[in-house]
Amino acid sequence: MIYGKTGFAVAAALAFAITGGVAQAAKTDIVVGLQLEPPHLDPTGAAAGAIDQVVYSNVFEGLTRFASDGSIVPGLAKSWEISDDGLTYIFQLNEGVTFHDGSAMDAEDVKFSLDRARAEDSTNAQKPLFADIASVEVMDPMSVKVTLSKQNGSFLFNMAWGDAVIVAPESIADIKTKPVGTGPFVLSNWVQGDRIELARNPDYWGEAVSLEKATFKFIPDPTAAFAAVMAEDVNAFMAFPAPENLPQFDADPRFKVLVGSTEGETILAINNKMPPFDNVKVREAIAHAIDRQAIIDGAMFGYGTPIGTHFAPHNPAYLDLTANSAYDPEKSKALLAEAGFADGITTTLKLPPPSYARRGGEIIASQLKAVGITVEISNLEWAQWLEQVFRGKDFGLSIVSHTEPMDIGIYGREDYYFQYGKPEFQALMADLDASTDPAERTSILQAAQTMISEDYVNAYLFQLANTGVANMKIEGLWANAPTQAIDLTGVSWTD
Amino acid sequence: MTAFDTSSNEASVLRQVLRSRSLIIGLVLSAVFIGAALVSYVWTPFDAEALNIPTKLKTPDAVHWFGTDHFGRDIFSMIMVGARTSIAVALIAVGIGILLGVPLGLASAARSGGWLDEVIMRGNDLVFAFPALLIAIMITAVFGPSAVNAIIAIGIFNIPVFARLSRGSALSLWTRDYVLSARVAGKGALRISIEHILPNIMNLLIVQGTIQFSLGILAEAGLSYVGLGAQPPIPSWGRMLADSQTLITLAPHMALFPGFAILLTVLGLNLMGDGLRDLLDPRLRNARR
């Protein structure tokens, strides 16, 4: 391989000499492959991650934003002040920000966006983010005062979500097809079913981006995705759907493989209200029957970090609780016998389309079978999964990756599909919301992680890895995915 | 009293079988796969459903004759058990087609031109208008994907095939003198259909059945490939192909062996069908003589 790379370099040098050493200008366009096409382009109107992948930071911006390491940095707000009681936030906006239609972005737009998101009839997919806002007031064109009804330590974090971006009131009617944001790229063309093209916004208020044109190309089929990368039809493919192909890209001098962390806790969801899973011993038996490493190796070809609770390992507050549910089939059998199911259990395992679920499901089915739990696998499309499992709660077991950042709060919701909602847990979440002290927040979060781990609410499998492949000469792509974004603002070609 | 001459004795039938190369190749290939399916009930080299991640993606060697798949399962064992799935699905589906299609076709021929004939044949046209895959998707949308639903979908698709075949050939038999004499003797349409028509179209049904059987195997593989057939962990050739898709550059053996299994089985059954037609079809047989 070293020989190969040297040969390549020599050839490149020769080619350079022959062309007379004229320095070529670096490329300024990029084609990014994506597996799923967004249903529309309004990040404030639907949960689909594909919308954020295309528009977050590229077309739309919020008051704050996620940096590639997951920290919160200023966005449209250049600074903010928080009152001592933690209830009032005064945001100072950046000067000279304009929407793509030329109109100025000011405090009125911020008020409009936040009020629209938290309105009664809002279709925002993450309304809890805005639940604590009591009022939004315009102080002057460049400052906004947000008053909360109770303390919320994660308010600035909430404002960084794609669901909280600032939109222009006059563009709302057509936002789904003609998004008008403040970002460095403008939507120039959307060929439905094929690609979305973005062009550089010449009037961008912030630091100018180096790309002039960006194309998102939608390739749902993993085999076609592999072919498109190999043929260099796409320059980068983020969240590459077939982890088995990554070693091959890694060995190819043309490409680099980006492996980072995501917010995707992949879990074997258990229907906590459905007998026999309302018995904690049965849930514990399931947890001990599962060999996480076999699932990571078999379904994800080694990409993924084992987790023992519903929390991202790269978060400073993370506790490694995998020991609570160590692989121990004998213990699992004993627990089942203790719970009165020595003869075994039969249940359903409903799987959505991603390969982590389909492949992981086959492995888990065989591991559960070894301790006497027989599962009937049914493979569902996303729409069916949402209907039957997520909304209908008609399932025994399911596998899914929860990709929202910091989503441990879902365990407090009684009507959430796995139906935990223990009052003690809800109390912890209330404490968390009321606390702004980082050390206290950490200890509450750790108590919450421990509680769901020891209650064996779900079987925690692994943190989904963010696996992407890109041309060797592209720099600035996010390796990690603190939110579902493909931020192109810092991306450039090296030659 | 039959439609064709039955004077050929057993020895000459055997001679004809041996003379027909395609029939022999077809019989051998079909026997190999049916044999593999039967043997798989009592023995496979490895447990076809046992996952063994550390030995995944092994190329064929002395231990794993066809290598292992992405979960470390033995592909040879999976093909043996997969043969069982394919054959069971196709056989039952063809059975449904014959059991429902032939009586419909015979009834239709017996009442040729009547309202019953019209209803049955237009109903057949309706079913024929939908491809098997579409029927399968409709059924799985309602009942969820499973091998049973694949059987029903392929079976429904087989009904008009047999109904048309039996109606067409029965119609020509109804004009024969021996049928006329049976009618004169006072036999009813039902008895004539069973005693005189059915035995004389049996040869055509056998040939068509063999061909539909091979199409059924192909259809089962197709449905499993798109995830509408047998559900994991039951091995199925179509799903083995689907699983191998993204791994084809890494582990081509994962695609080659199930692919060859489907190819050879379908080829074998088609050759057998061809050979049987040469042997059984009276027109072709007389022409050759």
DSSP states of B112-143: TTSHHHHHHHHHHHHHHHS-HHHHHHHHHHHH
pLDDT score at B44:
86
H or E segment and range at residue A157? helix A155-158
Calculate how close chain B gets to A222, using CA atoms only, in Å: 6
Task: Show which of residues 174-233 on chain A sit within 8 Å of chain B, judged by CB atoms.
Answer: 222-223, 226
- Contact A252/B at CB under 8 A: no
DSSP-derived 3-state class of residue A65 = strand
Burial, A479: exposed, middle or buried (Cβ in 10 Å; 0-12, 13-18, 19+)?
middle
Cβ neighbours of residue A42 closer than 8 Å, sequence gap 6 or more: A51, A175, A176, A179
pTM of the full structure: 0.76
pLDDT score at A109:
92
H or E segment and range at residue B173? helix B147-174
Cβ neighbours of residue B61 closer than 8 Å, sequence gap 6 or more: B67
Calculate how close chain A gets to B268, using CA atoms only, in Å: 31
pLDDT score at A4:
42
A264 token code pair: 């995707």
Q: Are A183 and A60 in contact (CB under 8 A)?
A: yes
Instruction: Indicate whether B182 pLDDT > 50.
Output: yes
Nearest chain B residue (CA) to A248: B250
Q: What is the pLDDT of residues A103-157, one digit of tens each?
A: 999 999 999 999 999 988 888 888 888 888 999 999 999 999 999 988 887 889 8
Instruction: Indicate whether A10 pLDDT > 50.
Output: no
**Alpha-carbon distances of A192 from A37, A38, A198, B201, rounded to whole Å:** 8, 9, 14, 54
Instruction: Indicate whether A206 pLDDT > 90.
Output: no
pLDDT score at A91:
93
Q: Are B73 and B49 in contact (CB under 8 A)?
A: yes
pLDDT score at A316:
85
- Contact A298/B at CB under 8 A: yes
C-beta atoms surrounding A337 within 10 Å: 14
Q: What is the pLDDT of residues A450-460, one digit of tens each?
A: 999 999 999 99
Q: What is the pLDDT of residues A211-252, one digit of tens each?
A: 999 999 999 888 889 999 999 999 999 888 888 888 889 889
Q: For A186-269, where are the alpha helices, taking DSSP H only?
A: 222-230, 246-251
Backbone angles phi, psi at A467, to 5 degrees: -110, 120
CA A210 to chain centroid, in Å, comes to 25
pLDDT score at B9:
59
- Residue B221 exposure: Cα atoms within 13 Å on the Cβ side: 23
Confidence of residue A438 (pLDDT cuts 50, 70, 90): confident
**Alpha-carbon distances of B48 from A132, B40, B79, rounded to whole Å:** 55, 9, 9
CA pair distance A52, A166, nearest whole angstrom = 14
Q: What is the pLDDT of residues A55-76, one digit of tens each?
A: 999 999 999 999 887 788 999 9
Confidence of residue A404 (pLDDT cuts 50, 70, 90): confident
CA pair distance A137, A88, nearest whole angstrom = 11
User: Among A274-278, A418-422, B277-281, whose mean pLDDT is lowest?
Assistant: B277-281
- Contact A122/B at CB under 8 A: no
User: Among A275-279, A380-384, B187-191, B254-258, whose mean pLDDT is lowest?
Assistant: A380-384
Residue type, A314: H
Instruction: Indicate whether A2 pLDDT > 70.
Output: no
B78 token code pair: 């999976």
- Pick the closest to residue A43 from A169, A228, A179 (CA basis): A179
Confidence of residue B284 (pLDDT cuts 50, 70, 90): low
Confidence of residue B282 (pLDDT cuts 50, 70, 90): low
Which of B228, B236, B246, B247 is the best substitution to test chain A (most A C-beta atoms within 10 A)?
B246
A222 neighbourhood in chain B, CB within 8 Å: 245-246
Q: Are B80 and B37 in contact (CB under 8 A)?
A: yes
Nearest chain A residue (CA) to B244: A223
Determine the Cα angle at B159 with ends B156 and B163, to 5°: 165
Task: Show which of residues 244-283 on chain B sit within 8 Å of chain A, judged by CB atoms.
Answer: 245-250
Q: What is the pLDDT of residues B106-148, one digit of tens each?
A: 999 888 888 999 999 999 998 888 877 787 778 877 887 788 8
Block residue for tokens 């519903």: A310
Please tell me what DSSP assigns to residue A390.
Answer: I
B51 neighbourhood in chain A, CB within 8 Å: 294, 298, 362-363, 366-367
A130 token code pair: 């805005």
- Pick the closest to residue B44 from B86, B71, B73 (CA basis): B73
What percentage of residues in chain A have a pLDDT greater than 70?
A: 95
The rounded radius of gyration (Å) of the Cα atoms in chain B is 22
Confidence of residue A347 (pLDDT cuts 50, 70, 90): very high
- Pick the closest to residue B160 from B220, B218, B105 (CA basis): B105
Instruction: Give me the mean pLDDT over the B252-262 stretch.
Output: 92
- Residues facing A379 on adjacent strands: A351
Calculate how close chain B gets to A223, using CA atoms only, in Å: 5
Helices (H), strands (E): how many in chain A? 13, 19
B128 token code pair: 């024929």
Instruction: Indicate whether A5 pLDDT > 50.
Output: no
Nearest chain B residue (CA) to A221: B246
What percentage of residues in chain B have a pLDDT greater than 90?
A: 33
Please judge whether A377 and B227 are an interchain contact, meaning their C-beta atoms are less than 8 angstroms apart: no
C-beta atoms surrounding B175 within 10 Å: 8
- Contact A466/B at CB under 8 A: no
CA pair distance A150, A186, nearest whole angstrom = 37
CA pair distance A54, A47, nearest whole angstrom = 13
- Contact B50/A at CB under 8 A: yes
- Residues facing A200 on adjacent strands: A185
- Pick the closest to residue B238 from B83, B131, B43, B95 (CA basis): B83
pLDDT score at A90:
93
CA pair distance A362, A16, nearest whole angstrom = 52
Please judge whether B233 and A242 are an interchain contact, meaning their C-beta atoms are less than 8 angstroms apart: no
Confidence of residue B286 (pLDDT cuts 50, 70, 90): low
Cβ neighbours of residue B210 closer than 8 Å, sequence gap 6 or more: B269, B270, B272, B273, B276
Confidence of residue B263 (pLDDT cuts 50, 70, 90): very high
> Least CB-CB distance to A362: which of B54, B232, B246?
B232
CA pair distance A17, A458, nearest whole angstrom = 61
Phi-psi region of A406 (alpha: psi -120 to 50; beta: other; left: phi over 0): left
Confidence of residue B285 (pLDDT cuts 50, 70, 90): low
- Pick the closest to residue B268 from B211, B221, B209 (CA basis): B211
Q: Which residue has the higher pLDDT, A355 or A360?
A: A360
pLDDT score at A21:
41
> Least CB-CB distance to B233: which of A294, A365, A379?
A365
Phi-psi region of A344 (alpha: psi -120 to 50; beta: other; left: phi over 0): left
> In this structure, is the dihedral angle defined by the CA atoms of residues A301, A305, A309 and A314, taken in order, positive or negative?
negative
- Residues facing A467 on adjacent strands: A259
Instruction: Indicate whether A17 pLDDT > 80.
Output: no
Please judge whether B233 and A226 are an interchain contact, meaning their C-beta atoms are less than 8 angstroms apart: no
Top mean pLDDT of A18-22, A248-252, A268-272, B180-184 is at A268-272
- Contact A313/B at CB under 8 A: no
Instruction: Indicate whether B3 pLDDT > 80.
Output: no
Please tell me what DSSP assigns to residue B74.
Answer: B
- Contact A248/B at CB under 8 A: yes
A242 neighbourhood in chain B, CB within 8 Å: 246
CA pair distance A451, A455, nearest whole angstrom = 6
pLDDT score at A1:
37
Cβ neighbours of residue B221 closer than 8 Å, sequence gap 6 or more: B86, B229, B236, B237, B238, B241, B262
Please judge whether A366 and B233 are an interchain contact, meaning their C-beta atoms are less than 8 angstroms apart: yes
C-alpha distance across the termini of chain A, in Å:
23
